[in-house]
Amino acid sequence: MKNKILISLCSIAVAATVSAQTTIIDDDFSSFVTPPTAGTAETSQLVYRAFNGSGASDLSGSGSGVLNMAPITGFSGVYGYLETEYQLMNVGDKFELKFDITYTSGPNADFDGFRVGLYNDLSNNSSLETGSTGYITTINTGAATGSATRIWRDDNQTNGVNSFGTDLTSSSGSSTYIFSGTETVTFAAEMVVSGIQLTVGSTGSGTIANSIIDTTSFENTFDMFAISNGGQTTGFNIDNLSVVYTQIPENSTVSIVAGISAMLTILVFRRRR
């Protein structure tokens, strides 16, 4: 019996060194509650808010189980504020946004027409436009060609969400993306040895792919995401949205747990002899 207990403790100690993955949001938009204020759509998971001039009629849930952003002239989108900060402190820590997007009609040919952002809202949701730092990826839509899929760092807190900042890369990635059907888009920030690695990818009718490591002045705290159009007027639906946070134990913790595991293993071996 004692040996079994020691073996169990050893297994627990080893498991403690494995990364912990937390699903923060997992929303299929199957049900909505009454919006508490104009320009919002609320589910059991989160309150989604419209921004940049979008009104109550522009953001809504539908009976088909999607979050709908109606067509509107100019820059418009939806954001979600998580209220808890998630920090990337150790190599392997990761903050990832994933969702399905379907345009309600063919998107305009527009440079940087579709945008996804991961942010640290320094104003605690009170001044969205000028109180956030983070990263965005911009993707050409329709038949637009020219600049590639790009990743930007907004580090001056004045551009507003999903606007431009420091262009981290413009030399790689797809040059155009039509969005002819439902696409699954992923945008992630991960701590690596040299900084924060930003990766954007997709599955669907085409391929969005780009990755860059931000080695200077990087942002490693996130509590908000944003999905938006650039200058086009086409509406879109969002479905199956998830936010996942992966946390790797600190080296000191791993060393302590590994030591305990080794001692337990020795005790088990001695008892068996």
Question: What pLDDT score does 223 carry?
Answer: 93
Does the pTM exceed 0.85? no
Residue 76 tokens read as 């418009």
| Residue 162 exposed, middle or buried by CB count within 10 Å (0-12, 13-18, 19+) | buried
Tell me: the pLDDT tens digits for 42-89? 888 998 888 765 444 567 765 568 888 877 666 678 889 898 999 999
Give residue 3's pLDDT: 53
β 221-229/110-121 pair status:
antiparallel
pLDDT digits (tens, 9 = 90+) for 114-169: 889 999 987 665 555 567 889 999 887 766 556 668 899 987 665 567 777 888 87
| Cα distances (Å, whole numbers) of residue 108 to 2, 75, 88, 127, 137 | 69, 13, 36, 30, 18
**What domains are there in the chain, each with its CATH number?**
21-83+98-179+218-244 (2.60.120)
Q: Tokens standing for 66?
A: 């999607």
Residue 252: pLDDT band with limits 50, 70, 90: very low
Average pLDDT over residues 165-185: 72
Strands laid side by side in the 77-87 sheet: 40-42, 47-51, 77-87, 221-229, 110-121, 132-141, 150-154, 166-169
Q: Which residue has the higher pLDDT, 135 or 5?
A: 135
